[in-house]
Amino acid sequence: MIIVLKNGTTPEQLREFSDRLSSQYQVQVNVWRGTQSTVLGLLGDTHTIDIESVEANEIVESVKRVQEPYKKANRAFHPNDTVIPVGDAKIGDGSLQLIAGPCSVESEEQIVEIARRVKASGATFLRGGAFKPRTSPYAFQGLREEGLRLLLEAKRATGLPIVTEIMSVSHIDLFRDVDVIQIGARNMQNFELLKEVGKLDKPILLKRGLANTIEETLMSAEYIMSSGNEKVILCERGIRTFETYTRNTLDISAIPVFKKLSHLPVIVDPSHASGIAWMVEPLSMAALAAGADGLIIEVHNDPQHARSDGAQSITPARFDALARKLFTLHRAVRG
Ligand code: PEP
Ligand code: MN
């Protein structure tokens, strides 16, 4: 339930009213203060609340029941866009965030070299998988702890904050120095993992599952947020369709829908969406034009010999040319 308060409500009136609501109805009251209005978001069993009696209060402007099952991720609970600061970067503030790097961390030379190159082209984050979710148990599984150590080396060398995927609750302690933890598509509904990363004070890049709806994705964000961590970044990375030309089908329409339904930042992954290096550029441009806050792009210095996802990886030189186009497009669409 959403309660919009009248302009001019004093902090004392607000405190007294929200205390009364939480004790009378056993609900959690979230307060959102904007420049124009103050909104109370009530979580819990709100069915027993009598709307008319709440409306009768002198500080109440309007009361509305929220139909959607996601509450904290809902734009109604938080009308302004959420902005997530990480180091010098701010995700969701209208700037263009470029997360770039290899699918997998392979060696110190590889990750440091790629980090230096993508940073010089304007990337704001370094990506790289240490724990890899591979379809085949015989495929390269990632360098694991050693991969995390090498990512931190690359961070030391370049200053770029790092984004890397977690696959198991039992690895959480290993991720303490990681700047942004990725929940991969295959784990989007690993609810125990979502609850655990929800206890951290760290941004979470939540990828949409291969065959999950927009609402299911927002419910997974809700799991993280309801456990206490509101720093969630949504990631559209393509979904399974009947099309076989591309690895997945990039759901461009998910971008404006996420933006309409939620206040969380949206990042798009054109690499996993297409599976084809030459498609990364047009899909990146389309995603940015459709309102994405940033892109996560696989970049490899030797794609032909990459240990995973070489076919969809672009070279640092191609990333450089793409980044230039993206910054120009960003100026044109965001002003
Ligand atoms: C990845 O980022 O390398 C990855 C495995 O992504 P996804 O979970 O979207 O497939
Ligand atoms: Mn990959």
φ/ψ (deg, to 5) at 140:
-55, 125
* Nearest alpha-carbon partner for 193 in 174, 173, 214, 170: 170
23 alpha carbon – ligand 1 mean position (Å)? 44
Q: Which atom of ligand 1 is nearest to the CA of 235?
A: 9
**What's the confidence (pLDDT) of residue 317?**
98
DSSP character for 267?
E
Ligand number, closest to the Cα atom of 128: 1
Give residue 221's pLDDT: 98
Backbone angles phi and psi of 309, in degrees to 5: 55, 35
Question: Rounded distance, CA 48 to CA 59, Å?
Answer: 21
Which distant-in-sequence residues (6+ apart) come within 8 Å of 36 by Cβ? 7
CA of 143 relative to ligand 1 center, distance in Å: 16
DSSP annotation string for 94-106: SSPEEEEE-SB--
Dihedral pair phi/psi, residue 8, rounded to 5°? 95, 0
- CA-nearest of 211, 219, 215 to 194 is 219
Ligand nearest to the CA of 238: 1
CB 295 within 8 A of CB 235: no
For CA atoms 196, 99, 245, 277, the dihedral sign is negative
Residue closest via CA to ligand 1's atom 6 equals 184
Which ligand has an atom closest to residue 296 CA?
Answer: 1
User: What is the phi-psi region of residue 22: left when phi exceeds 0, alpha when psi lies from -120 to 50, beta otherwise?
Assistant: alpha
Question: Tens of pLDDT along the chain (335 residues)?
Answer: 999 999 989 999 999 999 999 999 989 999 998 888 899 999 998 989 999 999 999 999 999 999 999 999 999 999 999 999 999 999 999 999 999 999 999 999 999 999 999 999 999 999 999 999 999 999 999 999 999 999 999 999 999 999 999 999 999 999 999 999 999 999 999 999 999 999 999 999 999 999 999 999 999 999 999 999 999 999 999 999 999 999 999 999 999 999 999 999 999 999 999 999 999 999 999 999 999 999 999 999 999 999 999 999 999 999 999 999 999 999 999 87
CB atoms within 10 A of CB 308: 19
206 CA distance to ligand 2 middle (Å) = 15
User: If you measure from the C-alpha of residue 308 to the centroid of ligand 2, how many angstroms do you get, rounded to a whole number?
Assistant: 6
> Are the C-beta atoms of 148 and 130 separated by less than 8 Å?
yes
Ligand 1, CB within 6 Å, residue ranges = 103, 129, 133, 184-186, 207, 237, 269, 272
What does the pLDDT read at residue 37? 84
pLDDT for 335: 72
Q: How many A from CA of 263 to the centre of ligand 1? A: 23
187 Cα to the center of ligand 1, angstroms: 10
What's the pLDDT at 6? Answer: 93
Q: What are phi and psi of 328, to 5 degrees?
A: -65, -45
Closest ligand 1 atom number to CA of residue 104: 3
Going from the Cα of 184 to the center of ligand 1, the distance in angstroms, rounded, reads 5
Q: What is residue 114's predicted lDDT score, i.e. its pLDDT? A: 98
Q: Whose CA is nearest to atom 9 of ligand 1?
A: 185
Contacts of 193 (CB under 8 A, 6+ apart): 166, 168, 169, 183, 187
Burial environment of residue 9 by CB neighbours within 10 A (0 to 12, 13 to 18, 19 or more): middle
* Helix (H) or strand (E) segment spanning residue 316: helix 316-334
Tokens of 10: 């004093």
- Name the residue of 167, 182, 240, 268 to mutate for ligand 1: max ligand atoms within 8 A of Cβ: 182
Answer for the pair 67, 57: CB distance below 8 angstroms, yes or no.
no
Tokens of 329: 């497009």
Domains of the chain and CATH, by start: 2-64 (3.30.70.1140), 84-334 (3.20.20.70)
User: Of ligand 1's atoms, which has the minimum distance to the CA of residue 132?
Assistant: 5
The reported pLDDT for the residue numbered 87 is 93
